[in-house]
Amino acid sequence: MSQPRFPWWKGERGEWWVAGQAALIAALALAPTAWSWTAPARDLWRGLGGLLILAGLGFVARAVIELGPNLTAFPRPRRNGFLVQTGIYAQARHPIYGGLIITAFGWSLWRGSGLHVGLAAALAVYVITKARREEAFLAARFPEYEAYRTRTKRLIPRVF
């Protein structure tokens, strides 16, 4: 059975959440940079940023692969989907969002500007809020979600 087709402007699957997230990611990626650090501090921060980018993207890639056919950008789960509680999802309920936040802060360090840090923080607040909305949909759809929520961190294993 396929996902019902809602008019996108009603946002019944969470289209507006996805649009807001995309806008913040685009702003973060395209914001201008004015380096405030000089070498060697700049090189240290860029190195740390690069490591965070790689770690965050690796986290996202693993989560996407393990989510498989349940993957959707929308907060509302797929109609024919199931609750994934294994692999990385045994350690974090929203590892894609966690990886996105790690990547965003890595990018901020790589770019070296306060504007990027502010945009990464705004993205973090946004996806945490989106995750809360998604959890309401998941709890309504899957009776076992409450038990899963109590034993699993939200975004980053053993951290948050």
Express each pLDDT in 54-63 by its tens digit: 999 999 999 9
Q: DSSP letter string over 69-84?
A: GG--SSSSPPTT----
Residues 6+ apart with CB under 8 A from 109: 45, 46, 48, 49, 52
Measured from the Cβ of residue 94, the count of other Cβ atoms closer than 10 Å reads: 24
Whether residue 14 has pLDDT greater than 90? no
**In the numeric block, which tokens belong to residue 99?**
């990886």
Per-residue pLDDT tens digits for 94-148 = 999 999 999 999 999 999 888 999 999 999 999 999 999 999 999 999 999 999 9
pLDDT for the residue numbered 159: 86
Nearest to 145 by CA among 94, 102, 104, 74: 94
Residues 6+ apart with CB under 8 A from 120: 28, 101, 104, 105, 107, 108
**In the numeric block, which tokens belong to residue 7?**
């008019």
Q: How far is CA 116 from CA 26, 39, 67, 97, in A?
A: 11, 19, 29, 18
Q: How far is CA 125 from CA 98, 131, 132, 146, in A?
A: 11, 10, 11, 23
**In the numeric block, which tokens belong to residue 131?**
């995750």
Query: Three-class SS of residue 135?
Result: helix
